Structure 1
Amino acid sequence: MQSKTLTGGQALVRLLVNYGVDTVFGIPGVHTLELYRGLPGSGIRHVLTRHEQGASFMADGYARVSGKPGVCFVITGPGVTNAATGIGQAYADSIPMLVISSVNHSASLGKGWGSLHECQDQRAMTAPITAFSAVALTAEDLPELVARAYAVFDSERPRPVHISVPLDVLSAPIARDWSNEVVRRPGRGPASATVIDQAVAKLNAAKRPMIIAGGGALNATSELQAISTRLAAPLFTSVAGKGLLPPDAPLNAGSSLCVEPGWNLIAKADVVLAVGTEMADTDYWRERLPLNAELLRVDIDPRKFNDFYPCAVALHGDAQQTLSGLLERLPSDVRDASAAVASVTALRDAVKASHGPLQSIHQSILERIAAELPENAFISTDMTQLAYTGNYAFDSLAIRSWLHPTGYGTLGYGLPAGIGAKFGAPQRPGLVLVGDGGFLYTAQELATAVEELDSPLVVLLWNNDALGQIRDDMLGLEIEPIGVLPRNPDFAALGRAFGCTVTQPQNLTELQADLRHGFKRNGVTLIELKHACAH
């Protein structure tokens, strides 16, 4: 018996399989049924989220720990607008994500007929928060658009891509089978030899070189460590770059450029090598770093070379390949690092000494976490004061281990991103750090976690019964606090209703024990820590 011709939706799913997609996050709807026709037997795991925002956040977390694009299936209209916050977060933090959505029938597009889920111009809604957003007007457009998406992921600054597929294109039989037409041609290469030579000359002449590395340098850990050692250069990271050096590396200045001791040290540099970092104020907590140095920038995005921090040498290329070229040309002798090591040691001491009362409480909690966190675990964080302190005060043992919504700063990120990360790295235990305010943005995703996960995910809910950062900001600006003291639900009862194991430690010793047990328990543990119990 001859097999039926594939529909556009079925062929698209097969194409994604051939690109290596193993997981998609989404919620089936009347406008994505033809995509779901293709899923059974495909080998792709479908993760049912409880809101499309959760789907895009989960795809983000999946991508951050795995290095592979996260994939979402969402319906036209409200599915796309619900997912848009997570798409925007991924765009801001340079995370690869492929969002496949339906859109209304081709004949109705832009006509305002009042069709179900209609958008006048769906592509225009996501264009500002994607590398590109396109509509597949025919099935033959799909392999080209998916190949273009992977060209972004493989060759450019990785960012989300949105492909809308009209209902008639999803459901119609395809004229020929293009589902095996995979095009992967990574286009990244090193900066030009001439420019690398210019950078080497600057670094050789530097008396106090320093390095800032970000999320674009995650594949260059050994090269960064070698350059830092050879030049005796303290190495700072952005939040996205946490873990690029081991915590005990003598020249590891950490992600301390958001606090005054870090600012004071970077101001002493005469040459700064910035690798794969946007150098944004969201990483530094001030409008501009006090750079008195010549700036050498390694970046895959040429738009970064003349933005807020114009550079003396622009090294346009892949971080790992470009740094490898630098190493080949730099003198092989290792400089005396005693002064640089002393400055980094003083920096670390100054960071701890600079903690205010609230940060000291956070530090105590973070120390209990560090004592129990499995070596291969990751931490997914929300926009919460505990995580803000952790951004610079918590040492990550490895890259892809601290997930934080830095650029867009979205509340509600921590829990779904942590769930998505569990699918990207199932063997890794996960910890979510979330405040009471952000938790209620996406608390429904506990249903997904309990249903889908059979390995440890611990959710540490830091409950200060307030939108604490906003309250503090209002007080600092002498604004009478309004809307920052919400009435919270019974979080323990809520967690139990979803099926979580729930604990409510009354002190930090109990917290540490609860963390220890949570990381040994297969499934979801919700730990509610009240502010009053953390002193």
Structure 2
Amino acid sequence: MTCAQLLLQLLRDTYGVDTVFGIPGVHTVELYRGLEGSGVRHVTPRHEQGAGFMADGYARATGKPGVCFIITGPGMTNIATAMGQALADSVPMLVISSVNRRDTLGRGQGRLHELPSQQQTLSGLTRFSHTLLDTQALPEVLVRAYTIFRSSRPGPVHIEIPIDLFNAPATPPAKWQPPELYRAAPDPRGLATAARWLHEAQRPLVLLGGGCVDSPEAACTLVERLDAPTVTTINAKGLLGEHHPLDLGANASLPAVRKLASEADVILAVGTELGETDYDVVFDDGFLLTGKLIRIDLDPEQLVRNQRVSLGLVADSGMSLALLLEHFPQPLQRGGRARTAQALAALGLGDDPAFAPFVPLFATLKEAMPDAVLVGDSTAPVYAANHLVSQPAPRRFFNASTGYGTLGYGLPAALGAQLARPDLPVVALVGDGGVMFTLSEIATAVEEQLPVVILLWHNAGYEEIRRYMDAHGVERLGVDIRAPDFLTLARGFGCLATHVDSPAALAEALASRPKDGPLLIEVDATQWHRNVA
């Protein structure tokens, strides 16, 4: 058995990998020997950045690490942006790459795809980056990667294999089984203190982040027992179910929720960074917590970032929620539902001029595709959806407006989500500016016969940056860009495409969407605003 064959066997049989994303190259052909007929599906994007975003979408939709096979040098620098997004949002991603021969590493000989140090270049975008120098170390390196994914704060892991090792003999470990791994439990004394503070609180507030998405029942039951208004961040959307009476949504940047936060005497923050893109998208440092702050996170460094903490517990979010529940056998009564309803009424999101035009858009989507996974780029409908949309379950709403905030994410990530969840419809929410970064992935959607709806919001340029320039007295430059004919381009890829400008036209387009391929729906933003005004 060769090193490449052992790698494929371990990924498939030990770690349950069923899909890999990658573009073959002369340095990685040996990775593909035996892939055909192995039961592992290979998906070919049209750019390595697309491979990374597809793996990201696959991982967010399932909780399983997305896996990529990537070529040396430019392949790795191409995927680096996607790895940055995954790192920022704690998304598990395994990137297997080639690297030049062991005897040439670091010698600057001008070899094909050579970097001075590929491992060093990628190490800042990963939980760890490792150069394999011995085939017998492969099982150990893989188990280290999956330990990060399963029992620590996840993120991208990069393993590079010199091209002269792919065909090197490798001995499969005898009866190899990965260890059973359990995440850290909270310290009982700290948990008891946290429970006491929450019992004594008169105006509690709960903040739930993406670290909680695998524990919806415990999260929902706990906030109900606490009778506490609850912020569910963008990556935690759907955690409490749809339209829960204690769910404030991802609205921590808006005045009514900030008022609740500043008045709260005890705040429980679980699995959340308390970062800018969830709590301060207006960028004024106005999310202030003056009460006792209890933080629970797998990452000890995270406990002391962004807000002053009163009590920190290094622990798994789901386990902590379940153990906290034991301290609250009966529901408390603190007027939480009334406080939540009052705050939501004060927000008046449906009547807010910034959000109102998108209310009929998401109502139409919900009626036609009630179970859809919504995957977004950085674009106007996504910014609105962060505040407006409620989902029935977690892992059905994610986008690139959080964390790293890259453009081009929405389309390929939606394809990854559709591959991961063929049982659910998937919608990619993209803009005419951002979609140009990865438009070529329509070809992948057609080739793989993925029935993704690509909802393209066409507002003739970079609208968010236009407004930002206007607000800061900067002359518009580089934002009023010329767009191509998206319908012609989509059809050239073999993708059905249509143009809409009203909720009725959108409903009609969705009703006739294909089941064996993508549909691009271009929404004329200017006409849409006029028709729904």
- Residue of structure 1 equivalent to 2:403: 407
Unaligned runs of 5+ in 2: none
Distance 2:474 2:177 in 1: 57
Distance 2:503 2:75 in 1: 41
Q: How many residues align?
A: 524
1:321 to 302, 319, 322: 319
Matched, 1:531 2:525: yes
1:118 to 114, 117, 142: 114
Distance 1:355 1:184 in 2: 54
Alpha-carbon distance, 1:41 to partner: 2.4
Matched, 1:65 2:61: yes
Q: 2:65, 2:93 within 8 Å by CA — same for their partners in 1? A: yes
Q: 2:3, 2:167 within 8 Å by CA — same for their partners in 1? A: yes
- Residue of structure 2 equivalent to 1:476: 471
Helix, strand or coil at the partner of 2:360: helix
Q: 1:465, 1:488 within 8 Å by CA — same for their partners in 2? A: yes
- Residue of structure 2 equivalent to 1:83: 79
Alpha-carbon distance, 1:342 to partner: 1.8
Matched, 1:361 2:351: no
Change (3 A) 1:87 1:353: closer
- Residue of structure 1 equivalent to 2:292: 294
Q: 1:65, 1:425 within 8 Å by CA — same for their partners in 2? A: yes
- Residue of structure 1 equivalent to 2:347: 351
Helix, strand or coil at the partner of 1:272: strand
- Residue of structure 1 equivalent to 2:234: 239
Greater shift after overlay, 128-137 or 309-318?
309-318
Alpha-carbon distance, 1:371 to partner: 2.2
Q: 1:15, 1:182 within 8 Å by CA — same for their partners in 2? A: no
Change (3 A) 1:281 1:288: farther
Alpha-carbon distance, 1:355 to partner: 5.3
Q: 2:205, 2:266 within 8 Å by CA — same for their partners in 1? A: yes
The percentage of counterpart residues that share the same residue type is 42
Matched, 1:158 2:154: yes
1:501 to 492, 496, 505: 496
2:262 to 254, 259, 267: 267
Per-residue CA distance 1:302-341 (angstroms, 9 max, x = gap):
11112222321112111111111111123x222225x321
Unaligned runs of 5+ in 1: 1-5
Q: 2:46, 2:441 within 8 Å by CA — same for their partners in 1? A: yes
Matched, 1:388 2:383: yes
Alpha-carbon distance, 1:179 to partner: 8.8
Matched, 1:93 2:83: no
- What amino acid does structure 2 have at the position aligned with 1:249? H
Distance 2:489 2:387 in 1: 32
1:378 to 373, 376, 382: 373
Distance 1:415 1:275 in 2: 30
Distance 1:453 1:293 in 2: 52
Matched, 1:248 2:243: yes
- Residue of structure 1 equivalent to 2:303: 305
1:466 to 456, 461, 465: 461
- Residue of structure 1 equivalent to 2:510: 515
- Residue of structure 2 equivalent to 1:424: 420
Change (3 A) 1:433 1:368: same
- What amino acid does structure 2 have at the position aligned with 1:295? L
Matched, 1:106 2:102: yes
Helix, strand or coil at the partner of 2:38: coil
Greater shift after overlay, 181-190 or 84-93?
181-190
Per-residue CA distance 1:388-416 (angstroms, 9 max, x = gap):
11111111121000011210001000000
Q: 1:14, 1:38 within 8 Å by CA — same for their partners in 2? A: no
Change (3 A) 1:68 1:51: same
Deviating 4+ runs (over 6 angstroms):
none
Q: 1:31, 1:76 within 8 Å by CA — same for their partners in 2? A: yes
- Residue of structure 1 equivalent to 2:333: 336
- Residue of structure 2 equivalent to 1:181: 176
Change (3 A) 1:40 1:237: same
Distance 1:137 1:108 in 2: 13
Per-residue CA distance 1:255-286 (angstroms, 9 max, x = gap):
11132222122222111100101110011213
Matched, 1:45 2:41: yes
Q: 2:295, 2:312 within 8 Å by CA — same for their partners in 1? A: yes
- Residue of structure 2 equivalent to 1:3: none
Per-residue CA distance 1:90-144 (angstroms, 9 max, x = gap):
0000000000000000000000011000011111111111100010011112111
Distance 1:370 1:350 in 2: 24
Change (3 A) 1:179 1:120: farther
- Residue of structure 2 equivalent to 1:168: 164
Provide TM-score, normalisation by structure 2. Answer: 0.96
Change (3 A) 1:111 1:530: same
Q: 1:73, 1:100 within 8 Å by CA — same for their partners in 2? A: yes
Matched, 1:30 2:26: yes
Change (3 A) 1:528 1:482: same
Distance 2:440 2:174 in 1: 35
Change (3 A) 1:381 1:353: closer
Distance 2:386 2:174 in 1: 43
Q: 2:273, 2:305 within 8 Å by CA — same for their partners in 1? A: no
Q: 2:21, 2:43 within 8 Å by CA — same for their partners in 1? A: yes
Provide TM-score, normalisation by structure 1. Answer: 0.95
Change (3 A) 1:369 1:258: farther
Distance 2:496 2:528 in 1: 21
Change (3 A) 1:256 1:226: same
- What amino acid does structure 2 have at the position aligned with 1:278? E
- C-alpha RMSD of the superposition: 1.5
